[in-house]
Amino acid sequence: MSLPADEYLKPDELATLKGVLDEQLKDILSQSKDAVSELVEVREADADPLDLAVTESNRDFTLRMAERERKLLVKIRYALERIQNGEYGVCESCGAPITFGRLMARPVATLCIDCKTEAEQVEPKKKMF
């Protein structure tokens, strides 16, 4: 078993990362509310065919973005849960520390750079079969 995250990350680094995750969570929740409001406000009955096509395209884009944000929301909540459990900053694959720099760049990272690189090299091969 590897050391807990607080053995890898300094308390101020962990606090910084938690703040970043909390801010991202807040932003996504706010954007989600805005997207839902935007979808509800659309009045298709008054639109001509061209307006309707643009509206439909915008709706599709909004829904795709909402799905992307939903997936990120799950990852953020998981990262916050790992902070609470003392597991944040520890690679889920090999148990090595994930560097502070990597976590600042990608706070939801669950793999160290070596394991992520290896996973990315294996992934295209899986898609070929």
Mean pLDDT for 31-36 is: 65
Residues 5-13, mean pLDDT to the nearest whole number: 82
Q: Residues near 18 by Cβ (< 8 Å), separated by ≥ 6?
A: 80, 83
- Give the pLDDT of residue 37: 57
Provide CB contacts within 8 A for 37, sequence distance 6+: none
User: Confidence band (pLDDT; 50, 70, 90) for 35?
Assistant: low
Tens of pLDDT, residue by residue over 40-84, are 555 545 567 777 777 777 777 777 778 889 999 999 999 999 999
Which of 17-21, 28-32, 63-67 has the largest mean confidence? 17-21
All structural domains of the chain, each given as residue ranges with its CATH number in brackets, are: 5-128 (1.20.120.910)
Phi, psi of 77 (to 5 degrees): -60, -40
Q: Spell out a b/e string for 27-51, using b for 16 or more CB atoms within 10 Å of the CB, else e.
A: ebeeeeeebeeeeeeeeeeeeeeee
Taking the model in full, what pTM does it have?
0.73
